[in-house]
Chain A
């Protein structure tokens, strides 16, 4: 996995852990999730 992909995956894990403990999503979290979703869509050829 590239550094960039690792960064995104780690950040998503952080978000998961923080929401599991009851925290709400910040704007930065939503930005990361938007980016990850866009990456996922293009990876699946839905672009």
Chain B
């Protein structure tokens, strides 16, 4: 793949704009609250698009195209079973507690609801995970540009990190959020022509259905038996493992995305942020999953004259991660190629900036201010927040270089993340909806859930991974194994939190007011028009999602 002047111009324009946004926002930053929390002043359309864009990092864009090629149309379950339902649940039921408690972060909510040790555990694991995610995103970007454009790895690392550093250091969270919106439009508009031309070249949807094996073109039809679909899981694992545990665990507890809703202007906007974000999310498979399905179709015997193939990895197997870049290289001419490459760069930078700004807030508020230096002036915490931005970027660069030296570090870290994130939703669910849940129950339940995840992984093996205690159970795909691990960790956390809570002392009702469903005054939104309420919009979106599932049954 070779870039020309027009392509470089587009990349340069993008870099100038994202940096300029940082400089424009800089004048608005007067306090730590402005820098770390955007002073809860961001309009709804921006928080909604930033909410979805914070998740639209490289793992999403490249990973979902790769899954589309590997598992076929079943990949839409990540959206139509997973994300959309969880986002609606977050908006309708959970945002009132996150936003209404006036907590500045998710760990701070845990401190209000439970105790300091639960907050500390969540803050430390979250801070570590965001830095690792940011570093791996940076590594993956540099590696991709090195492979497809033969750019220097070190230059890619330092330039990309430098640009993110400038705009997050200047404008903090607001700057990151504004750029996420720009990145969202760039990714969607930049990749849309690829979907159109590649789908047209493959002969349209009817040709895909004709040329691919049926299990790759149906979302539900082959889910009755784990052996008959490419993901190797049945519908129960899909509903519970992905649809409930993993998706709710991510969308309803991960501060990286929830932070975007917490900076909305008021409660109504905060509730509608994830719900409105669910609308573009619902149609995102068209941009990120469909190209993968098209790519694998183009490799079928009847379409080999098109001359497209997914590149092979060092072992001679299909390198699914390269699905999207290889489609861009195949279909985009100079000019649009620059747009496609910039869209990929934007997805990596969006992921990195999102992680760094979330790390900032959690480290400053939940670690530094809570455990080390309390009661200092706001100017002091603003200064610390800015310094933490620099440190976060430097740690990300360090992680990127560590990742370069270890082939499997990404897999290993993703595994650790799943161990930590898998059980987390049980803690929040019980904490928000069962007032008897105690701090000890939450803390030890989380520990037990993480331990259960580790043991389950040690006893199951999939695609050569896991089974390090004893490979007692074989699962067809790594994805299926992730669902099973998440399910066991969630169930363990759920039951152990209940059991421990029943034998330990709960907080009083007065302390829990506004933090638990049964002790929180319900908002009377009767004066609002129906289309401004979270509930009715959520129901409409649920109906549309169900219809989409039926259409691709």
- Is this pair of chains taken from one and the same complex? no
Interface residues of B (CB under 8 A from A): none
Interface residues of A (CB under 8 A from B): none
